[in-house]
Chains A and B, each alone.
Chain A
């Protein structure tokens, strides 16, 4: 393990990554705090509705966006180097003869990559500390959930990079594979929007899609399991590729593939957002859970239609959590229906048993009323009463001192540490 940590700290890619992560995080944080202050009325203008000012959306997610970029474009090179350098220098042939199991070799690399991630999170920790020092509010569960989501995404990306470096000859080929896979998941994410079925299910587990869930304060057990299992699968593939005497598909890979398939069926999720944005009011959820018959919804909207996006994120996401027996159909799946001459376009059909209802609303209240009527259940009080409990956290403060810390102190610290490290090994 000491070897891989030493290799990490002598890697120029790692120090450059730290430098850029600090600058990117600083830029994201400063912009976010400024925008938040404006929305809170710092310039003397009218403040936005206080309830709409959530530090999760306004500060944490934009700041963490810097890590999104770093995970996709910078971290893979650090992970690839840990393997590719040993392969190309001949060190790996010596290591294969050490009395060390392949599992332990890979575990050591995993720990080194985890240490790299924890060190790279220092700028994010600084941003949080600054925000709190300005008097800003943070919800611990939301914050930890977001960090957990990004960590899972990082672990998957690093694992895929390790597998690519193990499989491919040369670091450049491995980098092309990792970036190609990233672009592939983007394409899948884009194509699957509002299409339903297997493709949409598959796309809901892309790294970008799962991080979006964490960004809105949702902890989905299936996504956690799948990201972890995929990471384990990538490491298993790396283990097979790096061991010259085990070139066949092993039992462990087959077991992992089955486990991944099973994990897609897990439906448990937790709404850890402070404003419960992923849930209907508790009274509504109890009523929805009491409906025994399956609900079928047919959405006559194209994927590109903004109403589809509203309906998917503000209604269906909550309904899927509240009603296990929900089936959603997308008749315009796989086609752009914006220019089709179909009278039903814009309609949303609901069916419970033999009863059906049709409307065009994508708002939560109307949808819930429609479902109540179809199911013949008692009307619930208006959800506005519960949703108004979230107070919102306006803060009209400039990001004092942040530019100095992120644009001057951080680069100086990183470059100094880098030079000290180089002097020790040089």
Chain B
């Protein structure tokens, strides 16, 4: 698999505090890369810097165009799910595939306004907003946060069947192991490791507790 995205020596500060320091990693074509780390490790800042919605103090990002879906968003809360999906699709000159909506159980919610969605429903809307964008790499921040066990399993199947290059930020190690091909371990704004589960020693929990 060839690299589709290469991030080198990326550093970022927020509120005078250094959040990321010399972070470097690559994303390979058609893989699902999990960015794993405890709360405050810098996962969201990393995603936002790579997507260009937050400034970085240094570093380079080379490769294919990407799209990033932030965690906890409820975009255009007074509009319907149908309107929101159609808008994002129109901006990228694409269409919303009914199969994607069915897979994420969004079809029955199309005429609901996004403000009325539950946390899990809003999360599934976020996944759909990301997957409909025809960009080479899709970054999803905490895609399973707020989903119950059954929904998480379902969302994992959707992501695996999408056959897309994905980068997921996940704090639940059990979810990460189920869905990701490789892992980027982030701790206190630095890369603590990168590789497959085997390459990282087989137990991510021990890695962070060590």
Q: Convert B18-56 into 0s and 1s, putting 1 for each residue whose CB lies closer than 8 angstroms to a CB of A.
A: 000000000000000000000000000000100111110
Is B77 within 8 A of A89, CB to CB?
yes
Is A93 within 8 A of B78, CB to CB?
no
Is A11 within 8 A of B78, CB to CB?
yes
How many Å from the CB of B69 to the closest CB on chain A? 7
Is A89 within 8 A of B52, CB to CB?
no
User: Is A98 interfacial (CB-CB < 8 Å)?
Assistant: yes
Cα distance A356–B53 when bound, in Å? 67
**How many residues of A sit at the interface, in one of the four size bands?**
20 to 34
B114: chain A residues within 8 A (beta carbon): 89
Is B51 within 8 A of A247, CB to CB?
no
Q: Convert B49-70 into 0s and 1s, putting 1 for each residue whose CB lies closer than 8 angstroms to a CB of A.
A: 0011111000000000001111
Contact of B129 among A6, A85, A94, A244 (CB under 8 A): A94
A90: chain B residues within 8 A (beta carbon): 70, 72-75
Is B113 within 8 A of A97, CB to CB?
no
Interface residues of B in 78-105 (CB under 8 A from A): 78-80, 83, 87-88, 91-92
Q: Convert A67-86 into 0s and 1s, putting 1 for each residue whose CB lies closer than 8 angstroms to a CB of B.
A: 00000000000000000011
Q: Convert A315-351 into 0s and 1s, putting 1 for each residue whose CB lies closer than 8 angstroms to a CB of B.
A: 0000000000000000000000000000000000000
Cα distance A423–B57 when bound, in Å? 47
User: Is A7 interfacial (CB-CB < 8 Å)?
Assistant: yes
Is A7 within 8 A of B78, CB to CB?
yes
Is A91 within 8 A of B73, CB to CB?
yes
- Counting residue pairs across A and B whose Cβ atoms lie within 8 Å, the total is 69
Cα distance A285–B57 when bound, in Å? 63
Is A10 within 8 A of B73, CB to CB?
no
User: Is B208 interfacial (CB-CB < 8 Å)?
Assistant: no
User: Is B76 interfacial (CB-CB < 8 Å)?
Assistant: yes
Known contacts A90-B70, A97-B52, A98-B91: A7-B113 contact under CB 8 Å: no
Is B88 within 8 A of A94, CB to CB?
yes
Known contacts A425-B79, A425-B113, A426-B113: A96-B52 contact under CB 8 Å: yes
Is A93 within 8 A of B55, CB to CB?
no
Q: Convert A389-426 into 0s and 1s, putting 1 for each residue whose CB lies closer than 8 angstroms to a CB of B.
A: 00000000000000000000000000000000000011
Contact of B83 among A93, A97, A425 (CB under 8 A): A425
B51: chain A residues within 8 A (beta carbon): 93, 96-97
User: Is A100 interfacial (CB-CB < 8 Å)?
Assistant: yes
User: Is A99 interfacial (CB-CB < 8 Å)?
Assistant: yes
User: Is A245 interfacial (CB-CB < 8 Å)?
Assistant: yes
Contacts A86-B76, A93-B53 known; 10 new A-B pairs at CB < 8 A? A6-B83, A89-B74, A90-B70, A90-B72, A94-B88, A96-B52, A96-B53, A97-B68, A98-B92, A426-B113
Chain B residues at the A interface, C-beta cutoff of 8 Å: 48, 51-55, 67-70, 72-80, 83, 87-88, 91-92, 111, 113-114, 129
Closest 9 CB pairs of A and B: A90-B73, A91-B75, A10-B78, A98-B91, A93-B53, A96-B53, A93-B70, A89-B75, A90-B70
User: Can you show 19 pairs from A to B with CB atoms below 8 A apart?
Assistant: A3-B76, A6-B83, A7-B78, A10-B79, A85-B78, A93-B53, A94-B70, A94-B73, A94-B75, A97-B52, A98-B92, A99-B92, A244-B52, A244-B53, A247-B55, A425-B78, A425-B80, A425-B83, A426-B111
Chain A residues at the B interface, C-beta cutoff of 8 Å: 3, 6-7, 10-11, 85-86, 89-91, 93-94, 96-100, 244-245, 247, 425-426
